[in-house]
Chain A
Amino acid sequence: MRLKTLPARTFDRAKVLLFCFGLYPLARWFWLGWHHELTANPVEFLSRSSGTWALVCLLVTLSVSPLREWLHQPALLRWRRMCGLFTFFYASLHALSWAWWDQGFEWLAMLSDVWQRPFIMVGMAAFLTMSLLAITSTHGWMRRLGPQWQQLHRLIYVIALLGLLHYYWHKSGKNDFFTVAIYAAVMAGLLGWRVIRYKKRQSSLRKSV
């Protein structure tokens, strides 16, 4: 199949598929739960799994733009919001798992936990910033914010780095950095691509002047 020559509406139709893919982790949890395979500590498993999937979805979201240019398929842009919202969905479940299972919804305990543990603080900062982006992801907000919308949504780069730092700190207790290194490498590639593109545009702008 030649992806580069597919008509734009194919990508629009494939959004249903994308939605199903996005629900895969959730379906998997129910499947595992039904078969009593959420390990001896289901709470820990779900809490970690939701965090992992939030990070995976974030990387998928960041790969939409490079993919769009590579395939010359501007229509792919219409996938980006759904990817971003799935990231927010799994990040919300991840934050909820902490608030509920770890903190028992005690507001004072939650505040002091965020304050005392840099690892939680960084994760919470990423989640709150992401909430702002999720709220302003609608067409209405795009229109209202105009050119500022894009500036605001560049915060995804900050969120990505905070999320990676959060994961790195989580894994540092066991000096276990193998998986962190994989996520970091993919993220470095996706962010590096943007830096290179930015520099190329700058130099071509200068030439045209």
Chain B
Amino acid sequence: MPNYRAPRIRSTEITPEEIWQSRRHWMKAAGASVLTGAAGVFPSIGGASTLPSLDAIISKRFITMEPRTPEKDAVSYNNFYEFGLDKGDPAKYAHTLQTNPWKVRIEGEVVTPKTFDIDDIRKFAPLEERTYRMRCVEGWSMVIPWIGYSLSALLSQVQPTGNAKYVEFITDVQPKNMPGLSSRSIQWPYNEGLRLDEAMHPLTLLVLGMYGKVLPNQNGAPVRLIVPWKYGFKSAKSIVTIRLTEKQPTSSWMKALPSEYGFYSNVNPEVAHPRWSQATERRIGEDGVFAPKRKTLMFNGYGNEVASLYTGMDLRKNY
């Protein structure tokens, strides 16, 4: 990626070390009190505060700016249709998701297809904490500290063939554990796709944890994708298969509503969704009832890093 430039950060936007350190102490204290049976003191939505912690280096390149979304909001307001259509459903029902054992198969246009155990996947690269903006296609956004590493580090474990041009991500299907599968809103398994160069971009993150802990089930445990310059639905959850392909994959949303969802789905304030404007968004947990919506940024504010991927493309057509 010769054109890649790390985002520029004003010094005022960086959280001083003592603040995040003190937060870590607080987190430890909270963890300790959970162990000593004072769990009731801390709000535990979806069991989030009882998850094992996951150590990571705080990334200096991918630190951000805006205040983090409160953890309780990020783990209680989710779209994960396998567990229901309401955004409160995943936190209520995803505890049934079976995440152990978990294997991820990488197949398709690779020299040797391989299957990796989740424990090995955690070791392929040093874990980093990166705080990204996340913009949902529905018009809301969050700022979330993810833990993981660039997807390219996982893809380098296999050798793509010369034919590989796209990467498809497939979410697990667990009929007994996923009450939402009975709804016919989209086709299962959930699948999404990226162009190979998008998948190899350093911003594209393979995620194993958030807020200092392993991923909660409702957020796509044990391993998911985060592509911060695209609408949230592109970032597949609970991935079991990664398939390199020659042809552009057709995603679940493209199949369900071809008039509304295209392959790229880059955050773009100028291209409206057929049923609503994408020019503005509401930041969850931060923008109060009396705050106006904030302006949505092109490529969700990651234009410096990713705009060059789309040089010469008509982004109105390739929405």
Residues of A within 8 A of B (CB): 39-44, 46, 101-102, 104, 113, 116-117, 119, 169, 173-176
Which residue in A43, A175, A176 is a CB contact (below 8 Å) of B282?
A43
Residues of B within 8 A of A (CB): 72-74, 76-77, 81, 85, 87-88, 140, 183-186, 256-257, 260, 272, 275-277, 282, 284-285, 289, 292-293
Asked whether A41 lies within 8 Å of B275 as measured between CB atoms, the reply is no
Known A39-B76, A43-B282, A43-B289; contact A176-B85, beta-carbon cutoff 8 A: yes
- CB-defined contacts of B72 to chain A, threshold 8 Å: 40
Known A41-B282, A44-B140, A117-B276; contact A175-B185, beta-carbon cutoff 8 A: yes
Asked whether A41 lies within 8 Å of B284 as measured between CB atoms, the reply is yes
Asked whether A40 lies within 8 Å of B276 as measured between CB atoms, the reply is no
Known A41-B282, A117-B275; contact A174-B260, beta-carbon cutoff 8 A: no
Closest to B88 in A: A39
Closest to B277 in A: A113
Known A43-B282, A113-B277; contact A174-B85, beta-carbon cutoff 8 A: yes
Asked whether A176 lies within 8 Å of B284 as measured between CB atoms, the reply is no
- Report A90 CB to chain B, min CB distance, Å: 18
Q: Is the interface of B mostly helix, strand, loop or mixed?
A: loop
- Report A32 CB to chain B, min CB distance, Å: 12
Q: How far is the CA of A176 from the CA of B186 in the complex (A)?
A: 10
- CB-defined contacts of B184 to chain A, threshold 8 Å: 175
- CB-defined contacts of B277 to chain A, threshold 8 Å: 113
Asked whether B87 lies within 8 Å of A176 as measured between CB atoms, the reply is no
- Report B226 CB to chain A, min CB distance, Å: 19
Asked whether A173 lies within 8 Å of B275 as measured between CB atoms, the reply is yes
Closest to A112 in B: B277
- CB-defined contacts of B73 to chain A, threshold 8 Å: 40
Q: How far is the CA of A175 from the CA of B87 in the complex (A)?
A: 15
Closest to A106 in B: B292
Known A104-B292, A176-B85; contact A119-B275, beta-carbon cutoff 8 A: yes
- Report A180 CB to chain B, min CB distance, Å: 12
- CB-defined contacts of A41 to chain B, threshold 8 Å: 77, 87, 140, 282, 284
**Could you list 23 A-B pairs, sorted by A, with CB under 8 Å?**
A39-B77, A39-B87, A40-B74, A40-B76, A40-B77, A40-B87, A40-B284, A41-B87, A43-B282, A101-B282, A101-B289, A104-B293, A113-B277, A117-B275, A117-B276, A119-B275, A173-B257, A173-B275, A174-B81, A175-B183, A176-B85, A176-B183, A176-B185
Q: How far is the CA of A3 from the CA of B72 in the complex (A)?
A: 49
Q: Which of B76, B85, B260, B272 has the most CB of A within 10 A?
A: B85
- Report A124 CB to chain B, min CB distance, Å: 15
Asked whether B289 lies within 8 Å of A40 as measured between CB atoms, the reply is no
Q: How far is the CA of A117 from the CA of B72 in the complex (A)?
A: 34
- CB-defined contacts of B276 to chain A, threshold 8 Å: 117
- CB-defined contacts of A116 to chain B, threshold 8 Å: 272
- CB-defined contacts of B289 to chain A, threshold 8 Å: 42-43, 46, 101
- CB-defined contacts of B292 to chain A, threshold 8 Å: 104
Closest to A113 in B: B277
Q: How far is the CA of A189 from the CA of B211 in the complex (A)?
A: 51
- Report B195 CB to chain A, min CB distance, Å: 26
Which residue in B87, B88, B260, B293 is a CB contact (below 8 Å) of A173?
B260
Q: How far is the CA of A94 from the CA of B287 in the complex (A)?
A: 20
- CB-defined contacts of B186 to chain A, threshold 8 Å: 175
Q: How far is the CA of A152 from the CA of B185 in the complex (A)?
A: 40
- Report B141 CB to chain A, min CB distance, Å: 11
- Report A94 CB to chain B, min CB distance, Å: 15
- Report A21 CB to chain B, min CB distance, Å: 26
Closest to A116 in B: B272
Asked whether B285 lies within 8 Å of A40 as measured between CB atoms, the reply is yes
Closest to A33 in B: B289
Q: How far is the CA of A176 from the CA of B180 in the complex (A)?
A: 11
Besides A104-B292, A175-B183, 19 other A-B contacts (C-beta < 8 A): A39-B77, A39-B88, A40-B73, A40-B74, A40-B87, A40-B284, A41-B77, A41-B140, A41-B282, A46-B289, A101-B282, A101-B289, A113-B277, A117-B275, A117-B276, A169-B275, A174-B81, A175-B184, A175-B186
